[in-house]
């Protein structure tokens, strides 16, 4: 879900600055948001992700993955994992400024400054709670907050043996030794419509990629030729398995 932040003022000539400049007010609020972290919120999928991922890692990272799913989670492990954008997006709801505009002329005080904040909300967290948190973090009544769209929450799909075991058998057959690790997608998918209709929904990725070369949504988005054909074969066998043929 996204929210629009806006600050307005009477403006004036730039040679006569006065308190309440919308750009400064908005920038200060966004700075507070940048420094804020939503609380950790783990579920069945993210706990299993860290539990199984720990088996593929060594040293401090493996230890941190095991420690973060303890009760309570280890604060040091949590801080180290939070420093990674990849892991942070699986630990908590995130809100980030994605657009910014302000002012209308080089020689005039701004009459308005606006920003868009995009939030990726973890399952089980109402959008209204996120909005309330944003207002608390921004901590300035001069910054208005208005929803741009409506969040459509959906429940996470359970990791049942009927789902996991056939996938694990297929992976072992085609990619021996490769672990199956459930992941909570930190982006968004249209699976929410099926989940809200009571149909558990899963995305199965069989595309091997370079984790240091992520080009998703870029003009040069790409995957390897072999990775493409390997994934195509896996998905074909997956559909046959779950289709009962």
What confidence tens digit (pLDDT) does each residue in 40-77 have? 999 999 999 999 999 999 999 999 999 999 988 999 99
pLDDT at 38: 97
What confidence tens digit (pLDDT) does each residue in 3-45 have? 999 999 999 999 999 999 999 999 999 999 999 999 999 999 9
Residue 111: closest CA among 14, 220, 183, 230: 14
CA–CA dist 18, 121 (Å, integer)? 38
Q: Which pLDDT band, with edges at 50, 70 and 90, does 237 fall under?
A: very high
CA–CA dist 140, 155 (Å, integer)? 33
CA–CA dist 233, 237 (Å, integer)? 6
Q: Which pLDDT band, with edges at 50, 70 and 90, does 102 fall under?
A: very high
The residues that bridge with 144 in the sheet, in sequence order, are: 6
Give, in order, the Cα–Cα distances in Å from 58 to each of 74, 86, 225. 18, 18, 30
CB of 164 closer than 8 Å to CB of 44: no
Task: Quote the mean pLDDT of the chain.
Answer: 93
What confidence tens digit (pLDDT) does each residue in 122-147 have? 888 999 999 999 999 999 999 999 99
Q: Where are the beta strands (DSSP E) in 23-140?
A: 94-102, 108-109, 112-120
pLDDT at 211: 78
Arithmetic mean of pLDDT, 145-159 = 89
Peptide bond into 72 cis (omega under 30): yes
Q: Which pLDDT band, with edges at 50, 70 and 90, does 245 fall under?
A: low
């Amino acid at each position: 879900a996204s929210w629009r932040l806006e600050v307005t003022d009477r403006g004036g000539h730039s040679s006569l600055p006065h308190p309440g400049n919308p750009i400064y007010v908005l920038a200060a609020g966004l700075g507070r948001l940048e420094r804020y972290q939503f609380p950790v919120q783990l579920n069945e999928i993210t706990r299993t992700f860290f539990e199984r991922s720990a088996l593929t890692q060594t040293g401090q990272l493996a230890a941190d993955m095991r420690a973060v799913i303890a009760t309570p989670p280890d604060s040091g492990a949590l801080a180290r994992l939070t420093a990674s954008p990849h892991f942070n997006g699986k630990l908590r709801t995130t809100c980030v400024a994605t657009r910014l505009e302000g002012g209308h002329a080089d020689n005039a005080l701004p009459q308005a400054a606006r920003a868009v904040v995009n939030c990726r909300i973890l399952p089980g967290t109402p959008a209204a709670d996120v909005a309330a948190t944003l207002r608390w973090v921004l901590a300035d009544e001069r910054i208005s907050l208005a929803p741009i769209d409506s969040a459509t929450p959906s429940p996470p799909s359970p990791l049942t043996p009927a789902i996991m075991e056939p996938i694990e058998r297929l992976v072992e057959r085609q990619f021996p030794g490769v672990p199956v690790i459930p992941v909570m997608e930190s982006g968004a998918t249209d699976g929410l419509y099926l989940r809200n209709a009571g149909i558990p929904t899963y995305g199965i990725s069989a595309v091997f990629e370079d984790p240091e070369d992520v080009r998703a949504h870029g003009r040069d988005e790409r995957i390897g030729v072999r990775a493409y054909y390997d994934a195509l074969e896996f998905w074909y066998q997956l559909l046959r398995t779950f289709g009962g043929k």
